[in-house]
Amino acid sequence: MHMLKIDNLHARVEGKEILKGLSLTVNPGEVHAIMGPNGAGKSTLGNVLSGREGYEVTEGTVSFGGQDLLALEPEERAAVGVFLAFQYPVEIPGVNNTYFLRAALNAQRKFRGEDELDSMRFLKLVREKLKIMQISDELLHRAVNEGFSGGEKKRNEIFQMAVLEPKLAILDETDSGLDIDALKQVAEGVNALRSPARSFLVVTHYQRLLDYIEPDFVHVLAGGRIVESGDKNLALKLEAEGYAWLADKHPHLRKADLAGEAA
């Protein structure tokens, strides 16, 4: 049984159609990388799946574990197991990181009809997950993302994922702005969370992240659709040759759709 099935998805942002018939199926335990030139709709996909306001679905369906994902509110999507790791995690001044995470976890548990965790049980859970992510205690006592370095913000995202234990994790350009050491740390965290029951959508512009998080499938998103799918070798080919070769194969794609260069 598939975990996520996107069928002919069309979505608009500020009146402009960005996704134009995207289809994708993800099974439990699979890691799918979504690559593509700038402006192809990579980030839009993550935002649409998470239910961000301003992203309007005009056509198509998204089924998540047999459930109509598009019918759910953003916070309900989180509760049924969708997690978005942000490209630019936002700061929330004055709100304690641990407090925030506990509120999130308990809101999700409440929605699912599970009992809420008291602070003792929550702290125990946090300690376990801290080991996986190698995050310092000190980070937990600070306000959400406030004054965090780029690497700390991204590690905090993965740490949140570890605690919330989603079924589907969408990593939106998690590698952007990270140096190689920080990138490795984040990838290690992600790898530790891979399991037969958890799937990943890794949205990235660069192949280098995939050296550390090895995907089962690689897709090219261009012109609002998946135009090419393959295994990790596809990513290597994109790295070596860029996107231009796809124009010969897919004459309907405009040059502008492939203008972004793979590094």
| 74 lines the binding site for other proteins (CB under 8 A) | yes
Smallest distance, other proteins to C-beta of residue 138, A: 18
- For other proteins, which is the closer residue by CB, 103 or 180? 103
| CA–CA separation, 171 and 253 (whole Å) | 26
- Residue 262 tokens read as 């793979």
Window 75-114: contact mask with other proteins (x via CB under 8 A) = x-xxx---xx-x--xx-xxxx----xx-xxx-xx--x---
| 71 lines the binding site for other proteins (CB under 8 A) | no
| CA–CA separation, 84 and 78 (whole Å) | 9
| 212 lines the binding site for other proteins (CB under 8 A) | no
- For other proteins, which is the closer residue by CB, 121 or 184? 121
- For other proteins, which is the closer residue by CB, 148 or 217? 148
SS3 category, 67? strand
| CA–CA separation, 233 and 203 (whole Å) | 16
**Total residues at interface with other proteins (CB under 8 A):** 31
| 143 lines the binding site for other proteins (CB under 8 A) | yes
| 53 lines the binding site for other proteins (CB under 8 A) | yes
Name the DSSP class of 66. Answer: T
- For other proteins, which is the closer residue by CB, 47 or 199? 47
Classify residue 19 as exposed, middle or buried by CB count within 10 Å of its CB (0-12, 13-18, 19+).
Answer: buried
- For other proteins, which is the closer residue by CB, 55 or 243? 55
Smallest distance, other proteins to C-beta of residue 231, A: 30
| 139 lines the binding site for other proteins (CB under 8 A) | no
Strands (E), 159-234: 168-172, 199-203, 217-222, 225-230
The CA-based angle 87-244-208, given to 5 degrees, is: 40
- For other proteins, which is the closer residue by CB, 109 or 194? 109
Strands (E), the chain: 4-13, 16-26, 31-35, 55-64, 67-68, 82-85, 92-96, 143-144, 168-172, 199-203, 217-222, 225-230
Q: Which positions lie near other proteins, rule CB under 8 A? A: 50-54, 73-75, 77-79, 83-84, 86, 89-90, 92-95, 100-101, 103-105, 107-108, 111, 143, 160, 164
